[in-house]
């Protein structure tokens, strides 16, 4: 699958690939890219079923990592730093398992290698509510973004979260509203999105390059007990916490995150 991407930074500098999370797109990471562009040649990718990349009924980390392999090949990328947030972090981990020879260093932002689907966690419940709410909006009768926000507010209290989700709403060539997200595929494959490394794979070490996990201090996506699993799979992993930050670290503490990325990759 040919993925949409944005490119910035300086050619000849270390290459950095950035993968967004669920409901996101390359657009969400432009502000971070501006903080990094003097140090890297940066590729911001829209993963399948998101942003301007193609839609597909198939939606697994195996497919997402294969998409990324094709992207590397088409753009002659080797030995790049791979950064992924949330779902993008899962893609990055699966890619690192399949194609470790292509990675110079790995950065995983606020996600663990575990399967979240069977945990019945607050995070999972929130995602289910988001998907159900987005699907409940009748786009054929939608008159404005303000109306969409009002309908989202019935189930989603956070103004910031609603604003983030509404970045995926746009008008098509006929002037009708539509989601850039493939919501039907996300809903049908949510168990795949929540998937992780199976316990038997936790004995397989992924090594040969530096690895950094960055956790939001207020986020529950990486728990204390997850750190043992992380270091089993990635023996070289460093785990770094940014205090007073939730799951969307790049939006809440962009400067702190950018500084850590630069110091980690270039040290």
Q: Which residues are marked as active site?
A: 86, 247
Whole-number Å distance between alpha carbons of 82 and 141: 41
Whole-number Å distance between alpha carbons of 145 and 191: 30
Measure CA 125 to chain center. Answer: 18
Q: C-alpha distances in angstroms, 44 versus 125, 148, 197?
A: 29, 28, 25
- Under a CB-based contact definition with an 8 Å cutoff, are residues 111 and 212 in contact? no
Contacts of 161 (CB under 8 A, 6+ apart): 130
Whole-number Å distance between alpha carbons of 135 and 117: 20
Beta bridge partners, 55, equal: none
């Amino acid at each position: 699958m040919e993925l949409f991407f944005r490119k910035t930074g300086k050619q000849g500098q270390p290459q950095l690939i950035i993968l967004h999370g669920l409901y996101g797109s390359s657009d969400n990471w432009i502000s971070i890219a501006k903080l990094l562009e003097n140090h890297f040649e940066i590729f911001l990718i829209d993963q399948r079923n998101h942003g301007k990349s193609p839609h597909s009924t198939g939606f697994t980390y195996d497919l997402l990592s294969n998409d990324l392999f094709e992207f590397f090949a088409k753009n002659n990328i080797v030995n790049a730093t791979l950064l992924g947030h949330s779902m993008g972090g899962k893609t990055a981990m699966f890619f690192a398992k399949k194609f470790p020879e292509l990675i110079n260093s790995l950065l995983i932002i606020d996600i663990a290698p575990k399967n979240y689907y069977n945990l019945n966690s607050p995070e999972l419940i929130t995602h289910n509510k988001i998907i159900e709410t987005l699907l409940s909006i009748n786009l054929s009768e939608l008159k404005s973004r303000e109306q969409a926000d009002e309908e989202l507010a019935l189930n989603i209290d956070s103004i910031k979260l609603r604003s983030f989700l509404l970045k995926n709403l746009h008008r098509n060539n006929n002037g009708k509203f539509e989601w850039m997200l493939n919501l039907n595929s996300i809903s049908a494959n949510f168990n795949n999105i929540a998937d992780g490394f199976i316990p038997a794979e936790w004995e397989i070490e992924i090594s040969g390059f530096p690895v950094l996990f960055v956790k939001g201090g207020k986020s529950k996506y990486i728990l204390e007990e997850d750190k043992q699993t992380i270091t089993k799979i990635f023996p070289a992993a460093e785990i770094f916490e940014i205090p007073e930050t939730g799951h969307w670290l790049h939006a809440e503490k962009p400067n702190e995150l950018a500084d850590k990325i630069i110091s980690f990759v270039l040290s």
